[in-house]
Structure 1
Amino acid sequence: MRIVIAGGHGQIALRLATLLAARGDEVVGLVRNPAHVDDVAGAGATAAVVDLEKVDAGELAGHLGGADAVVFAAGAGPGSGVARKDTVDRAAAELLADAAARAGVRRYLLVSAIGIDDEPDSDRGEQWAAYVRAKKAAEDAVRATDLDWTFLRPGRLTDDAGTGTVLLGPPGLDYGRITRDDTAAVLVALLDTPASAGHVLDAVGGDTPIVEAVETAVR
């Protein structure tokens, strides 16, 4: 498969690229900063320098030609401010959907966040509220397309070593932690499971092997 990952320098994106490249897939990571090209190459992927806050859909589509799927794993980051929650976590996700449609790429995986159907906790501050609303708006926009989308909503991400097992299910799982390794592995399993299109899935740490968890969740 040829997979294009938006947000290619992010920790989930690099882990995903490593897993896909190791099994022989062709992976392209879209990065904003040229300084991150080597990191993407180190994961076995090819980097394309593309600023998702400045590029238009037509130009972005040029980077997606021949892809079997796109994965939106970009994020403005914890110190980015309210405005960039919208321009990256929402607008860039919508832009990728538009570009995918133009390029004839139907499969779209969006890394979202658990619990975004609920009103944001005001105690966590304005930036958190903006992040939750941006993720929800991104889902709503992509859901309105005719792409074969899947939304993965991981819990609190950690850098612990992956376990190879998760708890995966429709929205409503209790908030919990999940490793970035396991989140990336779930994305691989979703890419390998066409029946996951149209599903919104919460993911936290659990005891079910990842491939089995995906197959059960989309059955």
Structure 2
Amino acid sequence: MKAGFLILAALLALTSSSSAFDPSPLQDFCVAINDSKSGVFVNGMFCKDPTRATPNDFFFSVKEGNTSNPLGSKVTPVAVTEIPGLNTLGISLARIDFARKGLNPPHSHPRGTEILIVLEGTLYVGFVTSNPENRLITKVLNKGDVFVFPIGLIHFQLNVGYGNAAAIAGLSSQNPGVTTIANAVFGSDPSISSQVLTKAFQVDKNVVDYLQKQFWWDNN
């Protein structure tokens, strides 16, 4: 009886973990298209006839991002929108460029774990564990160093070197999503009630009003 219960628990654990990520493809590829009349709807996208696939369906050229903004950073995503051939393959990546002291602000990816490799420069990176610990785990990375940000957790990267920096992030979803914390909380449309935010952050309403009036820059 005990052995049967353990087997059932293991099966349930495997089922719950596998359903949390992109489903595995049942064909070589399923190139995404926007034409609903000539495609089959698979995993959120319409797919073209595989015999009509071209090399460009699997190609994208990543350029250095423009960091001349208040954050001093630019994220260039390479997901299914940029490479249609990524559809159903469960992976994507992004290039992140940093000016001196540039910041990729605290954010999370609801559908993907991120693994980051530094191409150049020095980055201070970290993530915060979930409740109740809310423990900050950080590391200073140099060229060639790799760091992992677990799925769904709030994380950030800050350029602490003396020049520009750049990194490549791989993500375990073709469309991992991104929620930038400050933008979501203080820049939502319509705005979150100040009554909610003053109690949540335990600050005066004038502080909340000020933050909600700011322009929250999106570096994506």
TM-score (norm 1): 0.23
Query: Greater CA radius of gyration, 1 or 2?
Result: 2
Greater RCO, 1 or 2 (C-alpha within 8 Å, sep 6+): 2
Larger strand proportion of the pair: 2
Larger helix proportion of the pair: 1
